[in-house]
Structure 1
């Protein structure tokens, strides 16, 4: 059975000075157009007296990129597809605000400003509301698309022999290609990005077809999220996640304290900011490396994996759970696990978040409604069996519930 796979590849690129100048122009034009759309949104919401709630995206009078080129002629110097992607990203930001946020909660920063400065929050302070981009926050990126030619050859974006070709740029870019793309892969789009150190990277979204044979789900595993151990599986094992942020927190606090004492915008402030960013990037890379290796190992060993569809965003609002949950990166882990399993014809199943996996006795199937979060071990009031490990019990229940949803 032929299956279409979409996958991302990221490489470091080494542009020339002229290519860097083109990229910086593209970053600035993309940021300019996005900020224009945000300003149009704010003006429209002001005109209708909006306070909170659903935003009707179709009623926002957005100017097309073609019209904006007439207003700002310098936009013609960059790739037109990059400007079209800005409009798409802005519409996606509004859609995300409508779909994923409650549209009435304000950011912590605005609530703090209300307590200290007595400044009432407005709709601009709503969580998830599209905001202006700034070069001070390292908003240096733009996306361009590939297009099929007359012969359906998809030649506008090409990666051959370590050289990358993209639209509007006449010369090829040198790429540090550390791994090859899949055979007969089509590059659908490319995102050029510059980090805080001035290094450039390209992210390629490729599409390719593989002959996939569904794997019979003989070996299944259930995973229950655990705040301290990352996860507990149905076989009684703990992930023992090395808390990278906690290990680097003491050093990070010292560097951030130095940054707060520098004069904002000064040369010393900029140098100190780079030190803080390097520490944060190291923690992020360590976390991502561990998540990739763990998800790969599980995807190789099991035919089907079941996890609970917990609301991580809601959990991160708690004062006691937020920092550790953000350090874990469990949402990223689920995404890694999903695509690694699907590439091999295996199954990834999410169990409904309201399923009482922790409160259900795995022996008799009865639900213990009075069970509290602090009860790590308990006796079943129906059959009298001792549940020694709450997380292990939940992982087994998740595996059993997911087994009923297997496709084969």
Structure 2
């Protein structure tokens, strides 16, 4: 890791009715500007084969504000509107580089409601945050302390489907420094029965968060399906479903953060499989369990935390037969099926736990690539 790490600190806050109204209006304007700009850029390419830029979309925004139809865009801060155009530009750049799909339109019901403010659109003074177009600071619940003398460079306000409000402060965090070097290395084998199996023989239990609340979630979804569309009772039922989903996601995220932090702190090198989770989700028999395990989220956390603390992550090809290779003599036993959890090597006679053996092979393959 080089230089100071930029890190986001996320907190819940409780807006006043006036603040909530202003923020909801801002979310709507951000979504409208994004969708209009995406439609205009798509039309420009479809009809005239013209590739537009952020500068052009910014000019369009100025023109839209001058029309009677969209004059209400002037009622909210201009910074979140400009930022959503920058996000759209980043989406197109990722698409052109073949790193992402073509940008999609934002939905009022399904898309994340958020707005991003830069330094010119908020005031940070004595630990109080006041956004543009607001007279009072946000009532933030400081669940953990910010680093001393922290100065946010960007503030993102969001509201999730469960109706909870969050504010994320992006700061330069001098407390994140490289950890002392160590010779420890670990291989990870992702699974469903065990969330991950380590090469040292440890198995991390999969708590199956979604499965634990499945009956409660199914009941809430049935009640939602019976409510009349666009009725108040349907809105209440939808909120109940969203809160169950939020509870599941919060517990899963908490576990993954604790696990990833422990693995990165204890090991200099972490070796993982380069799994294609998107393709694996096509297996309808395992899709729910794979989604609940959230292997992709765990990998993402391990990778960025390794960058923070000066650790290394190595990925092994998904085609490497880690489960069918003896970790003692390296003989491949192709006859082993996916349902076999323990087997004995015909070459050296070593008895293997399938997952532990796979983790050891993943570690050996990763260290051989260094």
TM-score interval, normalised by the smaller of the two chains: 0.7 to 0.9
The partner residue of 2:274 within 306, 309, 312 is 309
- Relative to structure 1, is the Cα distance of residues 262 and 168 closer, same or farther in structure 2, using a 3 angstrom cutoff? closer
Question: Does the alignment pair 1:20 with 2:12?
Answer: no
Which stretch of the first structure deviates more once superposed, 368-377 or 134-143? 368-377
Residue matched to 1:105: none
Superposed displacement of residue 197, structure 1: 5.0
The partner residue of 1:67 within 60, 68, 85 is 60
The partner residue of 2:89 within 88, 91, 94 is 91
The partner residue of 1:140 within 108, 113, 117 is 113
Superposed displacement of residue 47, structure 1: 4.2
| 5+ residue gaps, structure 1 | 49-55, 102-127, 148-155
Residue matched to 2:358: 394
Superposed displacement of residue 385, structure 1: 3.1
- Relative to structure 1, is the Cα distance of residues 347 and 182 closer, same or farther in structure 2, using a 3 angstrom cutoff? farther
Superposed displacement of residue 192, structure 1: 0.8
The partner residue of 2:140 within 175, 182, 195 is 175
Over aligned residues, Cα RMSD in angstroms? 2.9
TM score, norm. by length of structure 1: 0.78
**In 1, distance between residues paired with 2:260 and 2:233?**
41
- Relative to structure 1, is the Cα distance of residues 210 and 256 closer, same or farther in structure 2, using a 3 angstrom cutoff? closer
- Relative to structure 1, is the Cα distance of residues 400 and 31 closer, same or farther in structure 2, using a 3 angstrom cutoff? same
**In 2, distance between residues paired with 1:403 and 1:255?**
48
**Would the aligned equivalents of 1:215 and 1:346 in 2 still touch at CA under 8 Å?**
no
**Would the aligned equivalents of 1:9 and 1:205 in 2 still touch at CA under 8 Å?**
yes
Which stretch of the first structure deviates more once superposed, 164-173 or 5-14? 164-173
Number of positions where the alignment pairs a residue of Structure 1 with one of Structure 2: 363
**Would the aligned equivalents of 1:377 and 1:386 in 2 still touch at CA under 8 Å?**
no
Superposed displacement of residue 138, structure 1: 5.9
Q: Secondary structure at the match of 1:12?
A: strand
Residue matched to 1:76: 74
- Relative to structure 1, is the Cα distance of residues 372 and 176 closer, same or farther in structure 2, using a 3 angstrom cutoff? same
**Would the aligned equivalents of 1:186 and 1:208 in 2 still touch at CA under 8 Å?**
no
Which stretch of the first structure deviates more once superposed, 318-327 or 130-139? 130-139
TM score, norm. by length of structure 2: 0.86
The partner residue of 1:163 within 128, 138, 144 is 128
Once the two structures are superposed, what CA deviation does each residue of 1:295-323 show, in whole Å capped at 9, x if it has no partner? Answer: 23333433332211211111112112210
- Relative to structure 1, is the Cα distance of residues 263 and 168 closer, same or farther in structure 2, using a 3 angstrom cutoff? closer
Superposed displacement of residue 246, structure 1: 0.8
Superposed displacement of residue 129, structure 1: 4.5
**In 1, distance between residues paired with 2:266 and 2:53?**
52
**In 2, distance between residues paired with 1:255 and 1:22?**
31
Residue matched to 1:296: 261
Residue matched to 2:152: 187
Matches within 5 A, 1:259-278: 259-278=224-243
- Relative to structure 1, is the Cα distance of residues 199 and 347 closer, same or farther in structure 2, using a 3 angstrom cutoff? same
Superposed displacement of residue 170, structure 1: 5.3
**Would the aligned equivalents of 1:2 and 1:210 in 2 still touch at CA under 8 Å?**
no
**In 1, distance between residues paired with 2:368 and 2:143?**
41
**In 2, distance between residues paired with 1:160 and 1:224?**
47
| 5+ residue gaps, structure 2 | 66-70
Question: Does the alignment pair 1:250 with 2:215?
Answer: yes
Which stretch of the first structure deviates more once superposed, 282-291 or 62-71? 62-71
Once the two structures are superposed, what CA deviation does each residue of 1:8-43 show, in whole Å capped at 9, x if it has no partner? Answer: 211122333443333222111111111112323553
Q: Secondary structure at the match of 1:354?
A: coil
**Would the aligned equivalents of 1:229 and 1:240 in 2 still touch at CA under 8 Å?**
yes
Residue matched to 1:104: none
Residue matched to 1:332: 297
Q: Secondary structure at the match of 1:222?
A: strand
Matches within 5 A, 1:347-366: 347-366=312-331
**In 1, distance between residues paired with 2:154 and 2:123?**
10
**Would the aligned equivalents of 1:162 and 1:176 in 2 still touch at CA under 8 Å?**
no
